[in-house]
Each structure stands twice: as structure tokens, then as C-alpha cells.
Chain A
């Protein structure tokens, strides 16, 4: 796509008009320039972040040598993995419940399940802080059990997203497939395994990706539920940013951005952009 159209622009080719291209280009620059600058300056050989002083990877060595930071990253990935697995099961099961059955108070249950999406993060964080204090949730467990509180909190705000994604996929399920399977002699369980699961698989992949990134991304709720021994990556970066802006933070951030991009591309390989886009 050349910037200047070679063939005349047809009426509905809005994206080929010059001002539209400039607009989209400007928005992309707006979205990406800060991230790209951040990544470039992670290689800057200067303590202060402002002027380019030459290429170095020493801040990566420093970041990877920072035990607290590495530990926080490991914590974050562990929590994200655990939360994703539980959310996936819980979310899929809830979606099947809401799709398949008619039961008393259904709309109330439906509404409650989507509430964690709507309730502001800060309120959810506060609620978990108070809840874990009220039930005297043990804080002195060994790793990884000490991450339990954070993981529980993450599952609560992740699984409704999985439910939402799976449910919209279930809505497109042709029930005649289920009937055909039963007609051919499949049991309830076999129908579930051979027909339903393959149908919702794209939604499960999308839901898993969504849960993983939401969990990895979360700062506010974690901030309220983490203790001194259970620092996650965003919480650690937050305290580093508050304290001072150093290239070490850039290096750590760059690593996480690369991880996100890699995850997204894995999901794309599995799904295609369109399917992922439709889940939002």
C-alpha cells in the first residue's frame, strides 16, 4: 500500500484517502512511539535516561542479576499460569451452565458472574484486602503456596472473561451437531468431548491468552493482596518507577513486552487475527 494512491479511490475505500492514512499513521505513532523509545533506551549506556550515550546490554545483565526482580517475574508467571488454568476450567464450566440450562435465579447468577468485569479494580482490590484480613488467610506459607491469595484474586477477575468469550462461541454452536452425535450413539460425555470441546476450542485459546495477560498485567488488585514476600513483577516495577527511573526498568520492561508480543503471535498462529479480534 503506497502512501499515495496510484489508482483512483473508490467511494467506500475510506482507508485509502490521504487524511485517513495520516490519521491512522499518527495514532499508530502515538501508540507505539513511547514503547519503542522505551525499548531503545534499555540499550542506552547512561544512568539517566535522556541522552543516547552508546550501546550496552549491561542493564539487562543488571536486571537479570537483580534477585528481587527475577523473583517477582517468576512469581508473576507462576500466578498467571495457575490463574489461567483454573479460570479456563471455571469459565468454561460457567459458560456451559448458562448456555445449556434453565434454572431459578438464572439472570441473577448471570449478572453476578459478569460483575467482576464491571466492578472497578480498586474496589476489587480493597475487597480482597479486607477479605483475606477477615478470614486470617495464612501469609507464612512456603513458595508457591504463599501466592495463593493473589492467585485467588486473579482467578476471580479472569474467569468471567473466559465465560464471556466461551459463551459467545457457544452461541454459534449448531445443536444439530450434538443431536447427530447422539443419533450416532454418542453418550453425553462423548458428545461433550468430541463435539462441544472442539467447537469451543478457539474460545478457550483466546480465553487462556486473555487470562494470562490480564493476570500478568494486573497491578492494582495485586498491590492490595501482595505481602512483602509475594511481590509480583508489576508491583516491583511500580516501586522501582516510584523510586527512580533507570535503564534497568527499561530492560525489564522490554523483556516483558517481548514476552507479550511472543504470546500474541503464538495465539495468532493458533487462531488468526480475526478470531482474536472478535473476542473483544
Chain B
């Protein structure tokens, strides 16, 4: 993001109701020019409705949407300076690739020779040069998606909207398209707004992510902030894998804090939390931020955990389950309180997975900057 971020899309207090169901609930959101913005959320959270309101296919029940400073109320989709890549791609099956890409230009009244050049250029951009005369039914899903991309990009929209662009592709192609989409976005410099339910996709492509839950913006942040500093229980749980414990805030100084969790014990933090004393809070702890030891190593653990000002973050338990995933092994550990903790451990050498097994007693520690206090 540049310092001179200029909002290209302004969503102001927008709500959308379908009958009694509220799909989008009072959302206010700015999307900056030139950024790759991702709307992330579970299915049915209202993210697609939001995208379709930007495109003009749904009309807000309340609030307004501005594109490049212009209020979009009453402006139909065919008059908006945005274009959309549909989830099903919506490539016209009765037109050749070139006709598909030229469709919008013809309607806009662009000259024949210019159409030809721009179509060729757009197809080159999506690596489909030479496919002009193909019919869509002779192409793979991935190629059809490229046609849809070219068809939208050729219009040189101010914003390109993509609805679940990768959901219909297989895993390998999806990974490749993630890179290609980011690349393409940098190359053309158009603002991309993508909707997805896939956190990996969001984290890998986005400049900024808006997490949507039940029609509301749950958090708006860069990918790393979203992962490391989730604002609430929903975001912590939805983005990545996490252990969440409920507890009470017992200490809250500017440089340190402590939360008493019945399930986990006392959790120490090396920074302050702005919450009232005794407040009910959640503690989020990522599995990969927990160190696992054989119980005898108690002293070493203490030493390693000494960074916490008033105590150290420590727990004991028994391995209840484990799954070997190749790069890491995931452990499920039953704590003395009866609660379960998920811990992941990288398999740094070939035989790492042999160190622990079902039923082993283990001890764990984590750094004082690892837990996240969830107020919401």
C-alpha cells in the first residue's frame, strides 16, 4: 500500500435484506485504488452479495456505494466502470474466444481495427494468444477462466471484481493461478476485488483482507496482521488453526498482562491489553507457537519461558492423538484440566515423528508474545 492511498470504492453503511434475511448488515468499507482486496468469509456470510452490489446486480436496501467518488445509486451494471469475473466464468458458449472478448468492446462502439488489437493484447496477457477461434466447449475450465479474465480486462475497468475465481479449479492449478492473478494485478495496475471462502487464497493474494461474518465486517487488515493479531474470536478461529480458551483478565499493565483460564491455567503476556480488570476475554494460541518437550526437561523449559515478566507460560498434558502430515505433525494433547490443546511441530529431521507417541506425558511452553487476547 502506498502512503497516498485513494479510495476507489467507498461502501457507506450498506445493508441488504432479502425478505427477512439480512445478508449484508451496515457495512462501511473503503477499497483503495490499485490494491488487491479480498473479501473473505464462510459461505452465506454476505460477501458475494456485497460484490454483486458493487457490480450493480443487487441493489442495497440502505446505504450507498461510490465508485471513484461517484454515487452508483440508479446506475445499472452496464453503465458502471467495473467488470466482473463470474464464479461459473459465464463465458458465452455460442461465441468464439475472440467474440467473447470483443463483446464488450463492440457494444461500447470501439472501432473494428482497435477491437482486434485490444482482443489480441488481452488474450496475450492471460496467455491465451492463438486461441481466438476456439469455442468455449473446446477449452478446459482453467482456460475458460482466462477467457473470462481477458473479456473483463479488455474493458479497462476501474475495478475488476472476481467472484470465487479459483473455487472450480483443482488444487495444483489453483496454486498456480494464485500467483498468476497477483502477477496480473501488478502488471495491469487495476484494483482487484476478490471474494473467497478460502483463507490460503486470501492470505497469499491480498494486499488487504476484509473478513465478513454474518453480513458484518469482522476485521479489516493485511494478511499478516489478520493472522497474528485477530481482532475477535471469529477471525481467530476462521483464519488458520487456533486454540481458544476462555478466561478472566486478572492483570493489565501497560507492559504486561495476565489472563486466568480455567482450561489452560494462567497465561502471561508481555504487553498490555486495554480491557477492564476481571473482564471475560478469550485467549487464542496458534498450534505452531507452542513448544513441546519431554517432561524431564523442566528446567530448560523454565529458562526458555522466562521472557514473561511475572511468570512463565507452561502446561502439562498427555498425547491423546497425533496425525502425521509430512511437513508437520499435529498433536492433540489432553491437559490436566481435561481441556484439549492442539500443537503442531515441524518435522525438522526424518525421524522427528518418532519422538512422541500416543499416551506420552509431555510439557509445553510458549512465549509471552504468542497468545492473543480476544475481547470480541
Contact = CB atoms under 8 A, between A and B. Distances in A.
* A and B directly contacting (CB within 8 A): yes
Interface of A: 7-8, 10-12
A11 B84 CA distance: 15
Nearest to A8: B59
B59 A7 contact: yes
Interface in B4-56: 56
A11 B74 CA distance: 11
| Chain A contact residues: helix, strand, loop or mixed | loop
B56 A11 contact: yes
Given A8-B74, A11-B56, A11-B57, 9 more contacts: A7-B59, A7-B61, A8-B59, A10-B57, A10-B58, A10-B59, A11-B76, A11-B77, A12-B57
Contacts of B56: 11
Nearest 10 interchain pairs by C-beta: A8-B59, A10-B59, A10-B58, A11-B77, A11-B57, A11-B76, A10-B57, A11-B56, A12-B57, A7-B61
A37 B223 CA distance: 69
B14 to A, nearest CB: 14
B218 to A, nearest CB: 26
Nearest to B57: A11
B71 to A, nearest CB: 14
Contacts of A8: 59, 74
Contacts of B58: 10
A7 to B, nearest CB: 7
A11 B78 CA distance: 10
Interface of B: 56-59, 61, 74, 76-77
Nearest to A9: B59
A11 B52 CA distance: 11
A134 to B, nearest CB: 51
Contacts of B57: 10-12
A67 B229 CA distance: 88
Contacts of B77: 11
A278 B351 CA distance: 61
| Most chain A beta carbons < 10 A, residue from B56, B57, B59 | B59
A47 B57 CA distance: 58
B76 to A, nearest CB: 6
Contacts of B74: 8
A98 B74 CA distance: 55
A11 B76 CA distance: 7
A10 B59 CA distance: 6
A8 B60 CA distance: 9
B333 to A, nearest CB: 40
A127 B61 CA distance: 64
A244 B58 CA distance: 57
12 contacts: A7-B59, A7-B61, A8-B59, A8-B74, A10-B57, A10-B58, A10-B59, A11-B56, A11-B57, A11-B76, A11-B77, A12-B57
B57 to A, nearest CB: 6
A149 B58 CA distance: 60
Contacts of B61: 7
A262 B76 CA distance: 45
Contacts of A12: 57
B79 to A, nearest CB: 11
Contacts of B59: 7-8, 10
A86 B181 CA distance: 62
A2 to B, nearest CB: 14
A7 B18 CA distance: 11
A7 B15 CA distance: 13
A11 B56 CA distance: 8
Nearest to B58: A10
A8 B64 CA distance: 13
A12 B77 CA distance: 11
B59 to A, nearest CB: 5
B318 to A, nearest CB: 41
A9 B58 CA distance: 9
Nearest to B73: A8
A30 to B, nearest CB: 31
Nearest to B78: A11
A86 to B, nearest CB: 43
B332 to A, nearest CB: 34
B290 to A, nearest CB: 44
A205 to B, nearest CB: 31
A91 to B, nearest CB: 34
B203 to A, nearest CB: 33
Interface centre among A7, A8, A10, A12 (most CB of B within 10 A): A10
A11 B80 CA distance: 13
A95 B77 CA distance: 47
Nearest to B77: A11
Contacts of B76: 11
Contacts of A7: 59, 61
Nearest to B56: A11
A63 B76 CA distance: 59
A32 B257 CA distance: 76
A12 B76 CA distance: 11
A15 to B, nearest CB: 16
A11 B58 CA distance: 7
Nearest to B76: A11
A16 B109 CA distance: 30
